[in-house]
Amino acid sequence: MMKKLNHLLAILLIVAGLVSCNKNDEKMKNPFFNDLNQVIDFEHITAKNVTNATAESLTSGKEELSKIYTIKSEERTFENTVRALDDVYNNLLKVNEVVSLLAYVHPNDEIRNECLNSIGVFGKFFNEISLSDDLYGAIKDYSKSAEAQNLIGPEKKYLKETVEEFERNGFALPKEKRTELKVIQDKLSDLGIQFDSNISSYQDFLIASEEQMEGLPEDYKKSHRQEDGTYKIGLEYPSYVPFMKYSTSDEARKELTKKYKNTAADKNLDVLKQILIEREKLALLLGYKTFAEYRTENRMAKNPQNVWDFENSLKEKVRAKAERDYNELLEVKRAYTKDNTVKTIEAWEASFYNNILLKEKYELDNQKLKEYFEVGNVINGLFKISQHLYGVKFEQVENASVWHKDVLFYEVKENDKLIARFYLDLYPRENKYNHAACFGMIPGKKVNDDYQIPTASLVCNFPKATEDMPALMPHNDVETFFHEFGHLMHDLLTKAELASQAGTNVARDFVEMPSQIFENWAWDYEALSLFANHYKTGDLLPKELHEKMLAAKNVGSGLQVLQQVFYGSLDMTYHDKYDANGSKNTSSLVEDLQNDITMFKFQEGTHFEAGFGHLNGYAAGYYSYLWALVFADDMFSVFEQNGIMDQATGLKLKEIVLERGSTIEEMEIVKEFLGREPNEAAFLKSIGL
């Protein structure tokens, strides 16, 4: 009997060993898991890899967290408790961030859907961590130690903010209330994924006739023409924006605008209402009056009133400029329609008449202008500028493993040392994220005596070349490219030792500053002369055309700023002054605020908020675009003084802003770069005031 038992035990041990080996082999084969600084094999990722990587990450995360919990109080150190927590977050993020990217860019439906599922799983686990009694106890316990009391710099800041974030997540609450909080946070995680997914998967289009295409350029018509001679106009930017600008059909523009402003309205109105209800529950449970109060507390703004003061002040200061802009468009419309009694410009008319204004009064033809911005040239110019300012080099990796054949892969080197990597996914395709964004993938972080190489991706939707026409970018796309590249540099040039403080892991109302400052190089002639060559002749952008660009730059700037004030005010109102359970629906609020703040009347039958993705990611934080722009313009004034291509100033920006992440307070970063207190003078000057 004993012999049989021993034999059975031996078999079980062998099987267990095989299972363990199989599990380890499977992990080694999974593209999500690599040795430090090895690249990901995107070409061979499967849906099963996503599922397994998610499960493995969570299992490993739980094991590492358990180690932190079990350390004796007197044995706790920064290394084994606080840095160990950053290690856990880092290992989770390396999978979660890549999964989040692939959920919006991978061409395979099964992989995208599995990634969306995994985002939800990760979201719930992060909620679980944020509400862990054991983890809070460990961090709080360490914070009382003598070593913790003597911490300085980034380590002190990270510990302080970690404790504060736990307490913002309810650790002043009784146990049963924290359980209630976790239910709310899990529900919000699911609702947020649903909200974003409904927007990214929403598809609608306008079928336009030949007559309705009048005014549009031939390359646009050719790329949208169907076999039956009609034209299919989608809601993605490369289709929507030119149609609104050039189509002479007011009826078609009105219809397309209505479709655009109803993106995901079939599903997201209910989702948004529930999101706002749950956010209010969360805030009240944590002892805040509103979700906006909770959200702004640990940001530069500090409280909702500072945001309202900021928005209302800009609204008043910019109103007169916006009225001048509006009247300028009215004159164009009156001349175009030959009707001097016209008194209004509708929202779907603004881009069309603005384009005529630019061509006739400012003699700026955007179709001719884009002939100087071929995508390849723009990429090369962008690289030259960035490499010069920051003292780095970009090298393309040939035959790289990527998720789509159009994706390009680059390495970033400093003094011949590899310091970062990035991917460019520039062109639209079916089921791809339809805006422009920088997706973080692997954060920078000190790992023992080495440094984890940060990796990120730029996802854009620029016009693609056709058989007989190269990819030409409207100048606003060039500006967008520079903007997103600013985010990319912030992510990649980091030297922060902790992943939680690296790159764009900064206060939400600061994160847009490095991107918005970099937009300025898309306007300066010295910078443009590096790449703005005609796609046929190679001739440099003429100075007279550049002068027309500058003259036209602030055409409509007042209207544009008021539009941003509207977006920020709508977001803050939903989260600070709105009862989602009340009688007023979200669309009525859009109507009231648009009619009050902007110069354009609300379009009946539209539900803009359903497709306003920032209500999820930027909840009570959309104000940060304008907020950060004020700082960005102030900081750019230093380049204006020293020279836009002055490398010393570029290196100063790199060292003080881009490399630091959130290792020091963001306002201190701004003040150190400026050498003084910030102000809004440069911003007001930049919009023509």
Identify which of 242, 241, 221 has the alpha carbon closest to the alpha carbon of residue 232.
221
Rg, Å, the chain Cα set? 27
The structure tokens 């920032």 sit at 614
For every residue of 373-416, which 3-state class applies, written as one string? CEHHHHHHHHHHHHHHHHCCEEEECCCCCCCCCCCEEEEEEECC
Q: Report yes or no: 516 and 465 within 8 Å, Cβ to Cβ.
A: no
Across the chain, which distance is largest between two alpha carbons, in Å? 106
Contact present, 567 and 406 (Cβ < 8 Å):
no
CA 30 to chain centre: 28
- How big is the CA angle at 378 (ends 376 and 379), to the nearest 5 degrees? 65
Identified catalytic residue from 97, 484, 512, 680: 484
Indicate if 484 belongs to the active site.
Answer: yes
Distance CA 532, CA 539 (A): 8
Q: Alpha carbon of 319 to those of 328, 552, 594, 628: distances in Å?
A: 14, 19, 14, 20
Q: How far apart are CA 614 and CA 288, in angstroms?
A: 22
CA atoms 527, 532, 537, 538: torsion sign: positive
Report the C-alpha gap between 335 and 353 in whole angstroms. 10
Contact between 26 and 19 under an 8 Å Cβ cutoff? The reply is: no
Angle made by CA atoms 101, 382, 647, in degrees to the nearest 5: 120
Q: Are 285 and 180 in contact (CB under 8 A)?
A: yes
Long-range contacts of 522-526 (CB under 8 A, 24+ apart): 522/475, 522/478, 522/479, 522/481, 522/482, 523/479, 523/549, 523/550, 523/553, 524/644, 526/644, 526/645
Q: Give the C-alpha separation, 118 to 672, whole Å.
A: 41
Q: Which amino acid is at 73?
A: S
Per the listing, tokens 């002479």 go with 248
CA dist., res. 278 & res. 449, Å (int): 44
β-sheet bridge partners, residue 417 = 414
190: number of Cβ within 10 Å: 17
Distance CA 60, CA 66 (A): 10
Q: What are 569's two structure tokens?
A: 């005010």
Cα–Cα distance for residue pair 354/330, rounded to 1 Å:
10
Query: Within the chain, how many helices (H) and strands (E) appear?
Result: 28, 9
Contact 362, 351 (CB under 8 A): no
**3-class state of residue 603 by DSSP:** coil
Beta-carbon contacts of 83 under 8 Å, excluding residues fewer than 6 positions away, are 498
Alpha-carbon span 591 to 312, nearest angstrom: 18
Sign of CA dihedral 60, 62, 65, 67: negative
Give the sign of the dihedral formed by CA 106, CA 111, CA 117, CA 119: negative
Which residues pair with residue 414 across a beta bridge? 417
- Residues with a catalytic annotation lie at 484
